[in-house]
Amino acid sequence: MKLSDITSRAPGWYASGKCIYLKSAPGRGKTETVTSVPKLLEKRFSGKRFGLVVINGGCFTLTNATGYLWPEEREGEGRYSQFTRPDWWITSEGYPLESYDGGIIFIDEWDKMDIESKKITGEAALSGRLASHKLPPGWVVWGAGNRSQDRSGSTKELDHLINRRREIEVQDDMVSLLEWGARNRLMPETLTFIEANPQVVFEPLPEKQGPWCTPRGIASVDKYLQLMAEERGAVPTDALTIEEVSGDIGPGAAAQYFAMIRLGMEMPKYEDIMKNPAGVKVPAKIDAQMLVSHSLAARVSSEDAGKVLQYVDRMPKEFAVTFARSATQRDPGLVNSKAFMMWVGANSSLIALMNRLGK
């Protein structure tokens, strides 16, 4: 299932009370997707407040699950023991679970738990109970992890726990990644690199261990380079920077990525396009046209939309659609501008076709 499908179906999954478990190769966006669900629930169930607790399965212990067993003595009742409230009972916002109308306890890296911890959290997924603790109404347990073939430290899976949850295999999905990248302001060069090189961005696990490219890896590199660009005035392409990025995504992917960044330095300037959208040269190469589309989408405003669309319409239609999709993901308000509404009306059939094809 694609991440966009998971996002659209998540409110229904939550309402059913079923435990959801997402699995895929590393770095595919599972965690990012699940952590966005509480906000989606608040839109779906108006007036209610939903929380989120994220647990790292690789660091989880029995004490984390249950809290400490603490002896107490009550007058007339004798001595007894009770587990203290565990640390995960408090959300990242600093409130206890019962302060919300519901929410998701998300066990990331669930596959890396030890067997005993899997048994305890598996019972929580089914009944909402961990030792003497009972989850408040509206709280569900979801998880995510890698597969055994991913060499990611996964421990043995137990069949009775598999039977207690709905397992969803996350598919590599270019469209969802590009939409996420546009919303999160990835550089145009990064978006173009992703779109032009799916076989690199979704690279299979290499036979020989070492850095390799994943969606998570390329997004991390983008963030680092944007920070460096703020300091230096431009994205650096020196040998040391390339060596650093090679340590994130591998030397082959890094070489292709920096070739795209250098190509971006040769693109027409936004200011020049604003002055003369009908006369500024349109790049001849396909990858350059794609890069211009994403570059314009990263900067266009409602006031500039008419001139930008005039320039974009001089390129093949598929790149105009690429521009429109990326721009409106970054700024949904653009669809209300007069220029965009006119352009969408004139190209509605093409947009519908491209959406059906998933491009």
Q: Are residues 275 and 314 in the same domain?
A: yes
Question: What number is the average pLDDT over the span 114-134?
Answer: 89
Last-in-domain residue among 107, 139, 169: 169
Q: Are residues 158 and 22 in the same domain?
A: yes
Residues spanned by the domain of 282? 174-357
- CATH number of 20's domain: 3.40.50.300
Q: Are residues 186 and 328 in the same domain?
A: yes
DSSP 3-state assignment of 256?
helix
Q: Are residues 247 and 180 in the same domain?
A: yes
Domain count, the chain: 2
**Which pLDDT belongs to residue 83?**
83
Last-in-domain residue among 169, 197, 225: 169
**Which pLDDT belongs to residue 357?**
43
Q: Is the pLDDT of residue 356 over 80?
A: no
**Which pLDDT belongs to residue 359?**
46
**Which pLDDT belongs to residue 16?**
95
**pLDDT tens, residue by residue, 12-47:** 999 999 999 999 999 999 999 999 999 999 999 999
For all residues of the chain together, what is the average pLDDT?
91
Q: Give the start-end residues of each E strand in the chain.
A: 19-23, 50-56, 69-74, 78-83, 102-108, 129-130, 133-134, 139-145, 165-169
Q: Are residues 155 and 13 in the same domain?
A: yes
Q: Are residues 209 and 242 in the same domain?
A: yes
Last-in-domain residue among 118, 143, 169: 169
Q: Do 22 and 143 contact (CB within 8 A), yes or no?
A: yes
